[in-house]
Amino acid sequence: MKVLFTARYSLFSQPGGDTQQVVQTADALRVLGVEVDIILHGEIIDFTKYDLVHFFNFGRPADILGVLPQLKVPLIVSAIWVDYSEYDKYRPGFGSTLQKILGPNRLEYFKTIARGFNGSDKMPGLLYISKGHSRALKTVAFRASAMITSSQSEKQRITKSFEDAKNVHVIPLGLSIQFSTPFKEETERSGVICVGRIEGLKNQLNLIRAAKGADWQLKIIGKAALNQPKYYAQCEAEATENVEFVGWQNMEHLLESYRSAKVLVLPSFFETFGLVALEAMSQGCNVVIADRPDMKSIFNQNVLRCNPHDPNDIRQKIEQALELPVYKLNDAQRATYNWPAIAKQLQSIYKNTLS
């Protein structure tokens, strides 16, 4: 079996949770004997070489729509379907006004075109421009032989919004080999970390506001989003002495950060899964997450939940988490959240689709 993975243009230049998902899934499938190529949106693809195409990021239909007419093999879609509407309502500047005027789908349409103009993404093709965002989503949902979501909540959103969505399967994300085995507690933990691309949706600004005057240290780990430089500048401007911007970290340094911190905070206005929360829990961090549906359906215990709009509530939950004993994943959780098990489920879906 030869499978093409295709995903957003900036998958590696602006890494995120979907980067981990694509790379780890591909590696685990290769161990099972599946040939996998990763080719990004905008690159030339010879589709005749593949038995099946697996597209990641349903919310970016412009990345796959233009090639659907020439695609003669089954299409699998991993949804990673982020709902930006809550953040867009409070986006600073003209963004919130646009959301109120245009609504979520039309706003996503203009954001897609804007990314093409500013160079952070490829310009969408004429088919997307003529269809619009809503019809493009429906076209991809109709064309997909199967769709993969990472939570039951995400599946419900897909099936409620797209009656043409077929064979929707829930498969969680997993822990890479570095995180998948228990470790010995060797150092005393302290402080708080936040891991993720620095952008409005991830809500680092309210976390920085929560840290003002606190007696704990906060480390912000991640790259600034290329298309939100003003947001990063505001985060820097409001950061006090107990806030440090670390930048992107490779796996070795990220492991060290997880193992030395007492608390990881994920205050995002929306996450489809929240892989960094799972990684942090696997390394002994206590976790504070935003009280939002998709993450609630995954992390239904052993986490504290905060209101992402309220820095005081974020701070209160952090300080509670700093006082709790270290939490560790149990064997059943490690057996569920691992890439080899996930790859076997995907391989089964591939085989059923091809047969």
Express each pLDDT in 175-231 by its tens digit: 988 887 667 776 789 999 999 999 999 999 999 999 999 999 999 999 998 888 999
pLDDT score recorded for residue 90: 72
Chain position carrying tokens 């209160």: 316
What's at 57, amino acid-wise? N
pLDDT score recorded for residue 86: 80
Q: How many Cβ atoms from other residues are within 10 Å of residue 128's Cβ? A: 23
pLDDT score recorded for residue 34: 98
Q: What is the C-alpha separation between 58 and 53, in angstroms, rounded? A: 13
pLDDT score recorded for residue 99: 65
Task: Assess contact for 288 and 264: CB atoms under 8 A.
Answer: yes
Straight-line distance from the first to the last Cα atom of the chain, in angstroms, rounded to the nearest whole number: 12
Of 103-117, 321-335, 341-355, highest mean pLDDT: 341-355
- Would the pLDDT of 45 be above 80? yes
The CA–CA distances, whole Å, from 70 to 40, 248, 328 equal 17, 38, 48
pLDDT score recorded for residue 83: 86
The mean pLDDT value for 326-345 works out to 86
Domains of the chain, first to last: 2-174+338-354 (3.40.50.2000), 192-333 (3.40.50.2000)
What angle (nearest 5°) sits at the alpha carbon of residue 171, between those of residues 168 and 174?
A: 160
- Residue-wise DSSP of 287-337: EEEE--HHHHHH--SS-EEE-TT-HHHHHHHHHHHHHSPPP---HHHHHHS
SS3 265: strand
Q: How many Cβ atoms from other residues are within 10 Å of residue 353's Cβ? A: 17
pLDDT score recorded for residue 177: 83
Query: How sure is the predictor about 97, in pLDDT bands with cuts at 50, 70 and 90?
Result: low
Mean pLDDT, the chain, rounded, equals: 91
The CA–CA distances, whole Å, from 148 to 158, 349, 355 equal 10, 10, 18
86-90, 278-282, 310-314: least confident range: 86-90
Residues 297-319 have pLDDT tens digits of: 778 777 999 999 999 999 999 99
Give percent of the chain with pLDDT exceeding 90. 72
pLDDT score recorded for residue 100: 66
pTM above 0.85, yes or no: yes
pLDDT score recorded for residue 181: 67
Residues whose CB falls within 8 Å of the CB of residue 213, separated by 6 or more in sequence, listed in order: 240
Chain position carrying tokens 């190529």: 37
Pick 117 or 353 by higher pLDDT. Answer: 353
Q: What is the C-alpha separation between 229 and 302, in angstroms, rounded? A: 35
Tokens of 160: 């409620």
Chain position carrying tokens 């010879």: 46
Residues 106-116 have pLDDT tens digits of: 888 988 998 88
Q: What does residue 221 show for φ and ψ, rounded to 5 degrees?
A: -110, 120
Q: What is the C-alpha separation between 7 and 3, in angstroms, rounded? A: 13
- Would the pLDDT of 344 be above 80? yes
Q: What is the C-alpha separation between 251 and 57, in angstroms, rounded? A: 23
Task: Assess contact for 222 and 292: CB atoms under 8 A.
Answer: no
